[in-house]
Chains A and B, each alone.
Chain A
Amino acid sequence: MIDRALSLARLIAAILIVLVFEDPGIFAEDKPRSDVPLGQGSLSGLEELFQSAQRSVVKLYGAGGMRGLESYQSGVVIGDGNTILTSWSTVLDVDKVRVVTYDGRRLDAEVVGVDPECELALLRVENSKLPGFVLEASYQVRPGQRVFSITNLFGIAAGNEACSYQKGVVMAVSDLQSKYTGLRSVYRGKVIVVDVMTNNPGAAGGALVDLGGRLVGVIGKELRDEQSGIWLNYSIPADVAAASVDRILAGKTRSAGASLTMAKNPHKALDLGMVLIPNVIPKTPVYIDRIRKDSLANRAGIQANDLVLLVNDQRVDSQKSFEQILQTIERGDSFQLLLQRGTELLRVQIRP
């Protein structure tokens, strides 16, 4: 009796398994994939997202190939399909950049213009017949949101092979500036940081898309905090990229590192009337040893034994970084210090 019940159950189970796993209709919908907007209740899924979005990512080949510089990177096709947005790098130092499309076609691209501040470049191809991403400033992401990167990392894909997808979540949307003292990045603005290793050789210029297949960012270059050893996996957000494209097209780009330019006639701690404790270890704290009478520091209310923590909200972790930040402030300009006195924190304004 029991035995019979068992074999019956086994049979039912087997049928159910066949039903579930053999019927392609349940998992995949066999229909044309183009021109269907994603994430709008259609029958498209992740697979569709992958197939569709990677048509708008191209492999770029140009100069390089020596001294650790790759001769290839990635690019995203935007707008009408004949414009490619990518990372500005030495790869583009050629007359014609070779573009390989998702279907294996080889096209030649010309550099239309570059935005040194954002390290982005715009390329133009003729009659590509490629679908372009919509570059839309309102496509923003939040921490915890699912994202996918589509890049030709390590040059794995060639010809008509699909670019590589990586899956992750948005860790943070933040400014690169001043958070990590060991970062050597020209771009200092807003970035999308993800929790997956997206920024590999050849990945720069690739696409970061959300669950709706929308372009939310352009993958940045490899970036490592030289002091802490942390690799930062970041993309330039769609709104920053869109503004950058507008500037390139309007011919109004700014030179790189505008925010970090040295002042012509900068402040110096000693001239401000601050005598610091002897600088003896790699990160000597910015303790005030004494304050000169009738100095700017004295007038601002700074006292001996105060510890300088921030200058204009930039973290000062050593006397070296204090000097570096002061060098960016013109002698005529006023600035703010955050001081620690005992356990109290106080803000003072230096007014020349």
Chain B
Amino acid sequence: MNFELLRWARAFWATRAFWILGAIVFGSMHVGQVCAQSPMRLEELEQAAFESATRFVQDSVVQVETFGGAELVNRQVTSSGPSTGTVVGADGWIITSTFQFKFPPASITVVLADKQRKTAKLVARDFSRELALLKIEVDAPIKPVMPSDRAGWMIGQWALAIGKTFDPSVGSCSAGILSAQGRIWDKAIQTDTKISPQNYGGPLIDLQGRVMGILTPINPGIVTEGEVEQWYDSGIGFAIPLADVLERLPRMQAGQDIYPGKVGIRWRGEDEYSQPVVIEGVTPGSPAADGGVEIGDRIVAAGPSASSLKPVANHSQFKHAMGPLDAGMQLVLVVERGADRKEFTAKLARELPLYKESYLGILIDPASAANTPRVSYIVPGSPASGSGLQSGWVIESVNGIAIDEKRSLENQFANLNYRVPVELGVRDATGVASRIKVEPSTRPESDFEWDYQLAVNPEAPPSDPAGEPAEGKPQVGTVQIPISDVKNKAFAIVPSNYSEKVPHGLLVLFGDAGSLNQAQWAAAWEPFAREHRWIIAIAQSSEEKGWSFEEVEVGMRMQTWLARTYSVDRRRIAVGGFDSGSILAYITAAQFPELFRGVWLSNPKAPRGLRINPSEPFKAANYFVNSSDKGVDELVERLRKNGYSVQRQGSDLDSSKLVEAPLLLPVQRWLRLLEAY
């Protein structure tokens, strides 16, 4: 019976479809006849519509000019010439783009449609959407724009981009279509009208002259700063839906800037369109951490409230759900934890609390399995040293969360909040389980005497030189590193007791300029390399006078070759540099923050505007900076303010007297401690 009904319904709709099709065919014939009588009619009607829509809105569009204060970015003046604004409040509220306000101008003026010029005040900015709100004093009310209802929008419908840069009383018009909705993580609509600084801040209107959105320089972020002009008039332009602007208007009118909301969770994955969002890290003290989100939770829905959740099946969908949410707004997350489904609420933050890596002062035996990490050494004077923890014990849980493949010790420790005591579940050598409380600290920033020879790492494994194949066995001693296409020479000191069965630490150095004394380097580093299982690689600059920025890739190419050829411990990879090479070391570490756990800068000459990203779990390198130059203190301060631990030594390293250099031992102790938790 039901089946019959279904068949009937289907047939009914099939017939309906044919009638509809028939109507379209008749309709198009009718259009055809109209065209036959006057083929220009459609074009003329469109033209009339463009003109009247432009006229309808143009009194609500204003010219915005700034005076002074621009700066050069990549030889391009960041703001030049006038831009456009849109009236959103009759008493003088004007929304424009942030394009002209990258650097504070000396003055902002607005020219109204009646050519009156007014000084304007920058009231607030929306850094998430690149919009700015201006206020002018008006003698009489000015005409605000009329919004277009987004429910009626269709992709492909006409859209006009209106600007005011040419003539303050006549709107400039570029005609195109609405290309897409939900762009830039669901913050913007897209149009193929010609968008440039000429109409940034102006409205994108429909053929009735109602405003769909405000044109902004926002873009998908695949270009770097200074290349924004590649998007000008490209046929790919973006506007923020007016409804979203008006929703935030009261906050902006109150002088509040708007920022993207941050939640403080991390996930990993290669394919953002197919992989589910499984949380791999929660920033300590972040909204997510306070809300109770845990590592291993799988996000299945997200939204600003329980009633407006978007389903999340992959990383891209999560970014779309997060995109429109500002700092201060509520985020509701629905996660699956094992068989349970849980809902969390968090208030999104503008900035996440500064992350600093927690430090307990324990070394883990690299031979122990990942799910049963065994303590091999406890650093004297460290937080763990008085806690009762003994070497040889196995750590089984961290704050009650059992250690397994996904929630490894490294993962869990990286997400610890150093301000809060941690409870370790441990099992001693006799098999007795207990719980130990440790108050972590941040990583030590000063050299201290500890007999790191005690922690020789590890015992030489049962080696059987005869059993290992001689062929294909990697070279030991001073090894030349093949780097093609570049003039640089590079070599590595591989310890004579190297074995593939033991992962080795790796220090990649941008050596001092000019030729290097390989024998001296080997003499200075071989004992450390042998005892603590390290490989030291040094490159030489191609020019005598120093390193140039073009040579920055040399470090990564050395690292790649060595990691492919030798057995390298992921947790013990460091990069360093001398003099001009130290900046290349810094840049290499900044480009691959997850790869390098240590950065050694010897006598660095850091440019003033060096960009430093705040540290994050797994991106919190430890620095060793030595220089007699007091000017380096500023760099050290900036690194510390961004959450990095820095060991500062006040002397220069004379690389011509490397063997007896007093700095050598502190550097080696620092390297030795890199792997410590």
Chain A residues at the B interface, C-beta cutoff of 8 Å: 2, 5-6, 9-10, 12-13, 16-17, 19-20, 25-27, 29, 39, 41, 43-47, 142-146, 168-174, 179-182, 193, 195-197, 211, 225, 227-231, 281-287, 307, 309, 315-318, 338, 340, 343-345
B39 near A287 with CB under 8 A, answer no
B173 near A144 with CB under 8 A, answer yes
User: Given the complex of chains A and B, what is the CA–CA distance between A241 and B105 in angstroms?
Assistant: 39
Q: Which residue of A lies closest to B234 (CB)?
A: A197
State whether the Cβ of B668 lies closer than 8 Å to any Cβ in chain A.
Answer: no
Among A2, A39, A169, A315, the residue within 8 A (CB) of B65 is: A315
User: Given the complex of chains A and B, what is the CA–CA distance between A229 and B76 in angstroms?
Assistant: 8
State whether the Cβ of B369 lies closer than 8 Å to any Cβ in chain A.
Answer: no
State whether the Cβ of B642 lies closer than 8 Å to any Cβ in chain A.
Answer: no
A343 near B119 with CB under 8 A, answer yes
User: Given the complex of chains A and B, what is the CA–CA distance between A172 and B196 in angstroms?
Assistant: 14
A181 near B81 with CB under 8 A, answer yes
State whether the Cβ of B470 lies closer than 8 Å to any Cβ in chain A.
Answer: no
B80 near A169 with CB under 8 A, answer no
Q: Which residue of B lies closest to A318 (CB)?
A: B68
State whether the Cβ of B70 lies closer than 8 Å to any Cβ in chain A.
Answer: yes
User: Given the complex of chains A and B, what is the CA–CA distance between A295 and B119 in angstroms?
Assistant: 28
B71 near A146 with CB under 8 A, answer no
Min distance, Cβ B625 to any Cβ of chain A, angstroms:
32
B contact residues around A170 at 8 Å (CB): 173
For the complex, would chain B's binding face be called helix, strand, loop or mixed by DSSP majority? mixed
A contact residues around B39 at 8 Å (CB): 43-47
28 A-B pairs within 8 Å (CB atoms) are namely A6-B15, A9-B19, A10-B18, A13-B18, A26-B35, A26-B36, A45-B39, A46-B40, A46-B43, A47-B39, A143-B51, A143-B54, A143-B173, A146-B50, A169-B173, A172-B170, A182-B81, A193-B166, A197-B233, A211-B44, A227-B81, A231-B232, A282-B77, A284-B68, A286-B67, A286-B68, A340-B119, A345-B119
State whether the Cβ of B174 lies closer than 8 Å to any Cβ in chain A.
Answer: yes
Among A6, A228, A315, A318, the residue within 8 A (CB) of B229 is: A228
User: Given the complex of chains A and B, what is the CA–CA distance between A318 and B245 in angstroms?
Assistant: 33
A contact residues around B43 at 8 Å (CB): 46, 146, 211
A228 near B173 with CB under 8 A, answer no
A228 near B197 with CB under 8 A, answer yes
The 5 A-B residue pairs with the shortest CB-CB distance in the complex, in nearest-first order: A285-B68, A45-B39, A285-B106, A229-B229, A144-B50
B233 near A231 with CB under 8 A, answer yes
A contact residues around B77 at 8 Å (CB): 182, 227-228, 282-283
State whether the Cβ of B171 lies closer than 8 Å to any Cβ in chain A.
Answer: yes
A contact residues around B52 at 8 Å (CB): 144
State whether the Cβ of B541 lies closer than 8 Å to any Cβ in chain A.
Answer: no
Q: A144-B173, A282-B72, A307-B107 are in contact. Are A227 and B137 (CB under 8 A)?
A: no
User: Given the complex of chains A and B, what is the CA–CA distance between A317 and B71 in angstroms?
Assistant: 12
User: Given the complex of chains A and B, what is the CA–CA distance between A181 and B174 in angstroms?
Assistant: 22
User: Given the complex of chains A and B, what is the CA–CA distance between A22 and B229 in angstroms?
Assistant: 47
A6 near B170 with CB under 8 A, answer no
B25 near A16 with CB under 8 A, answer yes
A contact residues around B65 at 8 Å (CB): 315
Interface 0/1 of B137-158, CB less than 8 Å to A? 1000000000000000000000
State whether the Cβ of B53 lies closer than 8 Å to any Cβ in chain A.
Answer: yes
Among B38, B47, B121, B137, the residue within 8 A (CB) of A144 is: B47
Interface 0/1 of B227-242, CB less than 8 Å to A? 0010011000000000
State whether the Cβ of B267 lies closer than 8 Å to any Cβ in chain A.
Answer: no
- Segment among B26-34, B284-292, B542-550 that sits at the interface with chain A: B26-34
State whether the Cβ of B163 lies closer than 8 Å to any Cβ in chain A.
Answer: yes
B contact residues around A231 at 8 Å (CB): 232-233
- Please provide the chain B residues from 93 to 146 with a CB less than 8 Å away from any CB of chain A in the complex: 105-107, 109, 117-119, 121, 137
Q: A26-B36, A144-B173, A230-B196 are in contact. Are A16 and B69 (CB under 8 A)?
A: no
B contact residues around A179 at 8 Å (CB): 81-82, 165-166
B107 near A340 with CB under 8 A, answer yes
A143 near B40 with CB under 8 A, answer no
A195 near B175 with CB under 8 A, answer yes
Q: Which residue of A lies closest to B68 (CB)?
A: A285
B80 near A180 with CB under 8 A, answer yes
B233 near A285 with CB under 8 A, answer no
B contact residues around A197 at 8 Å (CB): 233
Q: Which residue of B lies closest to A14 (CB)?
A: B25
State whether the Cβ of B46 lies closer than 8 Å to any Cβ in chain A.
Answer: yes
User: Given the complex of chains A and B, what is the CA–CA distance between A315 and B168 in angstroms?
Assistant: 14
State whether the Cβ of B397 lies closer than 8 Å to any Cβ in chain A.
Answer: no
B contact residues around A45 at 8 Å (CB): 35, 39-40
B51 near A145 with CB under 8 A, answer yes
Min distance, Cβ B250 to any Cβ of chain A, angstroms:
23
Q: A16-B26, A172-B167, A344-B119 are in contact. Are A225 and B175 (CB under 8 A)?
A: no
Q: Which residue of A lies closest to B33 (CB)?
A: A26
User: Given the complex of chains A and B, what is the CA–CA distance between A315 and B77 in angstroms?
Assistant: 16
Min distance, Cβ B217 to any Cβ of chain A, angstroms:
12
Interface 0/1 of B43-75, CB less than 8 Å to A? 110110011111000000000011111111000
A contact residues around B35 at 8 Å (CB): 26-27, 45
B contact residues around A315 at 8 Å (CB): 65, 67, 82
B contact residues around A142 at 8 Å (CB): 51
Interface centre among A39, A169, A182 (most CB of B within 10 A): A169
B contact residues around A285 at 8 Å (CB): 67-69, 105-107
A contact residues around B173 at 8 Å (CB): 143-144, 169-172, 195
State whether the Cβ of B619 lies closer than 8 Å to any Cβ in chain A.
Answer: no
State whether the Cβ of B11 lies closer than 8 Å to any Cβ in chain A.
Answer: yes
Q: Which residue of A lies closest to B21 (CB)?
A: A13
A contact residues around B36 at 8 Å (CB): 25-27, 29, 43
B67 near A316 with CB under 8 A, answer yes
B contact residues around A5 at 8 Å (CB): 15
Q: Which residue of A lies closest to B10 (CB)?
A: A2
A contact residues around B433 at 8 Å (CB): none
Min distance, Cβ A342 to any Cβ of chain B, angstroms:
8
A contact residues around B28 at 8 Å (CB): 20
Q: A20-B25, A227-B76 are in contact. Are A174 and B166 (CB under 8 A)?
A: yes
